[in-house]
Structure 1
Amino acid sequence: MRYHHVDVFTDRPYGGNSLAVFPDADALTWGRMRAITRELRHFESVFLLRDGSPAHPRRARARVFDLTGELDFAGHPLIGAAAVLHALHGAADHEAWTLRLPARTVEVTTERRGPGRYASLLDQGLPPSSAAPPRRGSRPCSPSNRTTWIPACRRRSSPSA
């Protein structure tokens, strides 16, 4: 199974937050996704699945796993996933992606900045009514900390599942 090692929140390889993105994960079960994430020892891995709608090629279902199990929502894996989708399927320099998670559907826009480099902006919409208020001192993502790096030398293939 092919996957991409992605570094988000950085403008250079092997910096920022790393994660694994599996762009073709339709055949994987929940248990296999969890096992793969543990084996890779990434804090998070994101598995992309077709949403069943050929009329919407810029849509995917996303399942995010950490070392303990599946997460309803996590932001930085979605930024990395959208950058990988852009690298694989984006024809233009600017693209928009819809990613559907268990907790909500989000929009991510991406911009190609050079070979293997993408800027991404995650629009996660309004927080659920039960969400806690923003932490004191938190700030929105600035353009300098939302760059994603997908170094070609870090694309890996794993044995078929």
Structure 2
Amino acid sequence: MALLPVALFAALGGFFLSGLFREDPDALPSALIGATAPALTVTELPGKPVMTDAALTDGEVKLVNFWASWCVPCRVEHPQLEALAEELPVYGINYKDTPQAALEFLEELGDPYAAIGVDGSARTGIDWGLYGVPETFVLAGDGTVMLRFAGPITEKVVTDSIAPAIKAARAR
């Protein structure tokens, strides 16, 4: 009985130490990794192809990017999305935005998206475990979530996280 406090302290210390040695301490965890992407509850952005559930499982590796016109980091990552769109389909989910503002954003910066779904109610964001925008997911051709990246995509993120996840998705 006298060793119980020592054992509890050691177990708690081990738990905290394990957190210090994670692969990426800034990465936000996702229960979706290795699971099929949740169904979409989105509407159409006028004049743009609408994103569908069928697109998630069409056999092609793809990115799904949650974005909004009011999101400053979304502007920062936009050139990276345009570059990635030359390599694979990029699907956009416009999050809690107005159609006019979203269309103006795309007109100003360019439209890298193969199709777009509007998540005005945030239902899809909740289902996907969204913390905020931007967030990007790499999906294998069968719709399996291979990577979730929270934050703006930079060249370093493409090299260190997105590209390896795309390669792994293609190897499935």
TM-score, normalisation: structure 1 = 0.30
Which structure has greater strand proportion?
A: 1
Structure exhibiting the larger radius of gyration computed from Cα positions: 2
Under a length normalisation based on structure 2, what TM-score does the superposition of the two structures give? Answer: 0.29
More helix per residue: 1 or 2?
2
